[in-house]
């Protein structure tokens, strides 16, 4: 099964959320695009309330990162999580275009 959501981040704490009721058994790919000055983090939750930072890695390397400040495509395993979000943690200007692609059996 595959789920895709997209949206824009234009302020601190704006977020794009992928909802996976029952829990995911796979991974997500996240694409960050646009012209912006800001920082985004990828976070996950099981209970829908407490969000924890994930450390996805860019597709061209296996070096995990806690945050991103430029265009990127990253991947993360999210087994058991019910929601994954990309949240703007710092913002100066521009629009951050976000697409989250959730996939079973990552």
pLDDT tens, position by position, 12-71: 999 999 998 777 778 899 999 999 999 999 999 999 999 999 999 998 888 899 999 999
Are residues 28 and 104 in contact, defined by beta-carbon separation less than 8 angstroms?
no
Give the domain extent around 6: 2-104
pLDDT tens column, 64-102: 999 999 999 999 988 889 999 999 999 999 999 999 999
- For residue 83, what is the domain's CATH number? 2.60.120.510
Q: Is the pLDDT of residue 105 over 70?
A: no
State pTM to two decimals. Answer: 0.93
Bridge partners, 53 (sequence order): 43
Cβ proximity of 89 and 12 under 8 Å? yes
Burial class (CB in 10 A: 0-12, 13-18, 19+), 32: buried
3-state SS, residue 28: strand
How many domains, the chain? 1
Q: Among 31, 29, 13, which Cα is nearest to 90's?
A: 13
């Amino acid at each position: 099964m595959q789920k895709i959501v997209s949206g824009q981040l234009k302020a601190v704490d704006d977020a794009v959320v992928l909802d996976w009721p029952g829990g995911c058994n796979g991974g997500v790919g996240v694409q960050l695009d646009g012209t912006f000055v800001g920082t985004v983090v990828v976070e996950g939750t099981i209970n829908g309330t407490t969000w924890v930072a994930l450390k996805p890695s860019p597709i061209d390397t296996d070096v995990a990162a806690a945050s991103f400040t430029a265009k990127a495509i990253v991947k993360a395993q999210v087994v058991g999580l019910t929601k994954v979000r990309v949240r703007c943690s710092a913002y100066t200007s521009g629009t951050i275009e976000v697409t989250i692609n959730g996939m079973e059996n990552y």
